[in-house]
Chain A
Amino acid sequence: MEVTMDPLFLAWSYFRRRKLQQCSDICSKILQDSPYDQAAWSLKTRALTEMVYIDEVDVDEEGIAEMILDESSIAQVARPGTSLRLPGTSQGGGPTPAVRPMTQSGRPITGFVRPSTQSGRPGTMEQAIKTPRTASTARPVTSASGRFIRLGTASMLTNPEGPFINLSRINLSKYSQKPSLSRTLFEYIFHHENDVKNALDLAALATEHAQFKDWWWKVQLGKCYYRLGLYREAEKQFRSALNHQEVVDTYLYLTKVYQRMDQPLTSLNLFKQGLDHFPGEVTLLTGIARIHEEMNNISSATEYYKEVLKQDNTHVEAIACIGSNHFYTDQPEIALRFYRRLLQMGVYNCQLYNNLGLCCFYAQQYDMTLSSFERALTLVANDEELADVWYNIGHVAVGIGDLVLAYQCFKLTLAFNNDHAEAYNNLAVLELRKGHIEQSKAFLQTAASLAPHMYEPNYNLSILCEKIGDLQSSYTAAQKSEDAFPEHADTQQLLKQLRQHFAAL
Chain B
Amino acid sequence: MSSLESKGDGGKWLDAHYDPVAGLYTFSSCVDLADLSGDGDSRLVVGDLGTGSTGMKLKVYRGTALMSESTLLDLPAGLVALFIDQFEPRIPVVAVASGPCVYVYKNLRPYFKFTLPTLEINPVEQDMWQQVREGQIDPVMLKEMLEDVRKKADVPLSDRSLRFLSLAADEVDEFVQLHKQQPIRRQTVITCIGTLKKSTADEDGISCLVIGTENADVFVLDPEAFNILSKMCLPAVPTMMDVTGQFDVEFRITVACRNGSIYILRRESEKPKYCIELPSHPVGLVRVGKNVIVGCSDESLQGFTQKGKKLWRIPLPAPITTMAAMELPARGLQAVLVGLANCQVQLYRDKNLLSTIKTPDAVTSICFGRYGREDGTLIMTTKGGGLMVKILKRTAAFDERDGAPGPPLAQSVRLNVPKKTKLYVDQTLRERENGLAMHRAFHMDLSRMRLAAARTYFKVLESSLTPMSCSLSEPLKMNAVVQGLGPSFKLTLNVQNTASCRPVMNLAISFLYDDNLYRIRNAYMRIPLLVPGLIYPIQTFVECVSDKGVSDIIKVFVLHEEKSAPLLTAHINMPVSEGLMLS
Task: List residues of chain A with CB under 8 Å of any chain B CB.
Answer: 64, 93, 126, 129-131, 133-136, 138, 140-141, 145-146, 149-150, 153, 329-331, 333-334, 337, 363-367, 369-371, 373-374, 377, 383, 390, 393, 400, 402, 405, 408-409, 411-412, 414-415, 418-419, 436-439, 441-443, 445-446, 449-450, 499-500, 503-505
Are A374 and B448 interface neighbours, CB within 8 A? Answer: yes
| B573: Cβ under 8 A from any A Cβ | yes
Nearest CB in chain B: distance from A417 CB, A: 9
Nearest CB in chain B: distance from A112 CB, A: 22
Are A367 and B483 interface neighbours, CB within 8 A? Answer: no
Q: Given A141-B485, A153-B581 in contact, is the A370-B446 Cβ separation under 8 Å?
A: yes
Report the separation of the CA atoms of residues A449 and B582 in the bound assembly, to the nearest whole angstrom: 31
Taking CB atoms, residues of chain A closer than 8 Å to B427 are 333, 363-365
Are B453 and A141 interface neighbours, CB within 8 A? Answer: no
Q: When A and B form their complex, which 8 residue pairs have the shortest distance between CB atoms, in order from nearest? A: A503-B298, A370-B445, A134-B573, A367-B441, A366-B442, A367-B438, A503-B280, A505-B260
Are A418 and B298 interface neighbours, CB within 8 A? Answer: no
Are A135 and B416 interface neighbours, CB within 8 A? Answer: no
Nearest CB in chain B: distance from A60 CB, A: 16
| Residue in contact with B535 in the complex, picked from A363, A370, A438, A445, CB distance below 8 Å | A445
> What are 24 contact pairs spanning A and B, CB under 8 A?
A130-B481, A131-B483, A150-B581, A334-B421, A337-B423, A365-B427, A365-B431, A366-B438, A367-B437, A370-B442, A374-B445, A402-B446, A408-B457, A412-B460, A414-B466, A415-B466, A418-B480, A418-B570, A437-B500, A439-B475, A439-B498, A446-B479, A503-B297, A504-B280
Report the separation of the CA atoms of residues A353 and B453 in the bound assembly, to the nearest whole angstrom: 18
Are A141 and B438 interface neighbours, CB within 8 A? Answer: no
Report the separation of the CA atoms of residues A363 and B438 in the bound assembly, to the nearest whole angstrom: 13
Taking CB atoms, residues of chain B closer than 8 Å to A499 are 298-299
Q: Given A135-B576, A438-B532 in contact, is the A408-B439 Cβ separation under 8 Å?
A: no
Q: Given A367-B441, A369-B442 in contact, is the A412-B549 Cβ separation under 8 Å?
A: no
- Nearest chain B residue, comparing its CB with the CB of A407: B457
Report the separation of the CA atoms of residues A503 and B416 in the bound assembly, to the nearest whole angstrom: 37
Are B441 and A133 interface neighbours, CB within 8 A? Answer: no
Q: Mark B458-482, 1 if CB is under 8 A from A, else 0.
A: 0010000111100000010101111
Nearest CB in chain B: distance from A326 CB, A: 9
Q: How many residues of B contact A (CB 8 A)?
A: 68
Are B575 and A134 interface neighbours, CB within 8 A? Answer: yes
Nearest CB in chain B: distance from A55 CB, A: 22
Report the separation of the CA atoms of residues A371 and B452 in the bound assembly, to the nearest whole angstrom: 12
Are B498 and A438 interface neighbours, CB within 8 A? Answer: yes
- Nearest chain B residue, comparing its CB with the CB of A150: B549
| B189: Cβ under 8 A from any A Cβ | no
Are B483 and A129 interface neighbours, CB within 8 A? Answer: yes
Are A505 and B279 interface neighbours, CB within 8 A? Answer: yes
| Residue in contact with A138 in the complex, picked from B417, B496, B575, CB distance below 8 Å | B575
Nearest CB in chain B: distance from A277 CB, A: 37
Q: Mark B289-301, 1 if CB is under 8 A from A, else 0.
A: 0000000111100
| B454: Cβ under 8 A from any A Cβ | yes
Report the separation of the CA atoms of residues A202 and B439 in the bound assembly, to the nearest whole angstrom: 70
Nearest CB in chain A: distance from B380 CB, A: 24
Nearest CB in chain A: distance from B297 CB, A: 5
| B278: Cβ under 8 A from any A Cβ | yes
Report the separation of the CA atoms of residues A331 and B575 in the bound assembly, to the nearest whole angstrom: 38
Are B421 and A333 interface neighbours, CB within 8 A? Answer: yes
- Nearest chain A residue, comparing its CB with the CB of B300: A503
| Residue in contact with B477 in the complex, picked from A136, A442, A500, CB distance below 8 Å | A442
Nearest CB in chain A: distance from B11 CB, A: 29
Q: Given A369-B445, A370-B446 in contact, is the A135-B573 Cβ separation under 8 Å?
A: yes
Report the separation of the CA atoms of residues A412 and B463 in the bound assembly, to the nearest whole angstrom: 12
Taking CB atoms, residues of chain B closer than 8 Å to A442 are 477, 496, 498, 533
Report the separation of the CA atoms of residues A134 and B578 in the bound assembly, to the nearest whole angstrom: 12
Are B421 and A331 interface neighbours, CB within 8 A? Answer: yes
Are B578 and A419 interface neighbours, CB within 8 A? Answer: no
Taking CB atoms, residues of chain A closer than 8 Å to B466 are 411, 414-415
Report the separation of the CA atoms of residues A93 and B571 in the bound assembly, to the nearest whole angstrom: 40
Are A363 and B424 interface neighbours, CB within 8 A? Answer: yes
Taking CB atoms, residues of chain A closer than 8 Å to B117 are none
Are A141 and B418 interface neighbours, CB within 8 A? Answer: no
Q: A64-B485, A145-B578, A366-B442 are in contact. List 19 more A-B contacts (CB 8 A).
A: A129-B485, A131-B482, A134-B573, A138-B575, A138-B576, A331-B418, A333-B423, A370-B446, A371-B445, A374-B449, A377-B452, A405-B453, A411-B457, A412-B453, A418-B479, A439-B475, A443-B477, A505-B279, A505-B280
The secondary-structure label for the interface of chain B is mixed
Taking CB atoms, residues of chain B closer than 8 Å to A135 are 551, 573-576
Question: Total contacts A to B, CB within 8 angstroms?
Answer: 170
Are B485 and A408 interface neighbours, CB within 8 A? Answer: no
Q: Given A135-B576, A363-B424, A411-B460 in contact, is the A393-B453 Cβ separation under 8 Å?
A: yes
Are A329 and B418 interface neighbours, CB within 8 A? Answer: yes
Taking CB atoms, residues of chain A closer than 8 Å to B438 are 365-367
Report the separation of the CA atoms of residues A337 and B421 in the bound assembly, to the nearest whole angstrom: 12
Report the separation of the CA atoms of residues A418 and B482 in the bound assembly, to the nearest whole angstrom: 12
| B456: Cβ under 8 A from any A Cβ | yes
| B401: Cβ under 8 A from any A Cβ | no
- Nearest chain B residue, comparing its CB with the CB of A383: B571
Q: Given A136-B573, A393-B449, A405-B453 in contact, is the A415-B460 Cβ separation under 8 Å?
A: yes
Nearest CB in chain A: distance from B378 CB, A: 28
Are B581 and A145 interface neighbours, CB within 8 A? Answer: yes
Taking CB atoms, residues of chain A closer than 8 Å to B299 are 499, 503
Chain B residues 546-583 with CB under 8 Å of chain A are 549, 551, 570-576, 578, 581-582
| B281: Cβ under 8 A from any A Cβ | yes
Taking CB atoms, residues of chain B closer than 8 Å to A443 are 468, 477
Nearest CB in chain B: distance from A351 CB, A: 18
Report the separation of the CA atoms of residues A442 and B448 in the bound assembly, to the nearest whole angstrom: 32
Are B570 and A373 interface neighbours, CB within 8 A? Answer: no
Chain B residues 229-265 with CB under 8 Å of chain A are 260
Nearest CB in chain A: distance from B423 CB, A: 5
Report the separation of the CA atoms of residues A135 and B577 in the bound assembly, to the nearest whole angstrom: 10
Nearest CB in chain A: distance from B258 CB, A: 11
| Residue in contact with A414 in the complex, picked from B280, B468, B576, B582, CB distance below 8 Å | B468
Chain B residues 481-527 with CB under 8 Å of chain A are 481-485, 494, 496, 498-500
- Nearest chain A residue, comparing its CB with the CB of B447: A370
Nearest CB in chain B: distance from A418 CB, A: 5
Taking CB atoms, residues of chain B closer than 8 Å to A418 are 467, 479-480, 570-572
Are A129 and B453 interface neighbours, CB within 8 A? Answer: no
Report the separation of the CA atoms of residues A377 and B452 in the bound assembly, to the nearest whole angstrom: 10
Are B477 and A405 interface neighbours, CB within 8 A? Answer: no
Nearest CB in chain B: distance from A41 CB, A: 30
Taking CB atoms, residues of chain A closer than 8 Å to B467 are 414-415, 418
- Nearest chain B residue, comparing its CB with the CB of A329: B418
Are B500 and A373 interface neighbours, CB within 8 A? Answer: no
- Nearest chain B residue, comparing its CB with the CB of A427: B468
Nearest CB in chain A: distance from B524 CB, A: 21
Nearest CB in chain A: distance from B111 CB, A: 41
Q: Mark B12-30, 1 if CB is under 8 A from A, else 0.
A: 0000000000000000000
Are A438 and B500 interface neighbours, CB within 8 A? Answer: yes
Taking CB atoms, residues of chain B closer than 8 Å to A439 are 468, 475, 477, 498
Nearest CB in chain B: distance from A7 CB, A: 35
Taking CB atoms, residues of chain A closer than 8 Å to B480 are 131, 418
- Nearest chain A residue, comparing its CB with the CB of B425: A333
Report the separation of the CA atoms of residues A145 and B482 in the bound assembly, to the nearest whole angstrom: 20
| Residue in contact with A133 in the complex, picked from B279, B417, B575, CB distance below 8 Å | B575
Taking CB atoms, residues of chain A closer than 8 Å to B446 are 370, 400, 402
**Which of B431, B437, B581 lies at the interface centre, i.e. has the most chain A CB atoms within 10 A of its CB?**
B581
Taking CB atoms, residues of chain A closer than 8 Å to B571 are 383, 418
Taking CB atoms, residues of chain A closer than 8 Å to B296 are 503
Taking CB atoms, residues of chain B closer than 8 Å to A149 are 581-582
- Nearest chain A residue, comparing its CB with the CB of B479: A446
Are A141 and B449 interface neighbours, CB within 8 A? Answer: no
| B450: Cβ under 8 A from any A Cβ | yes
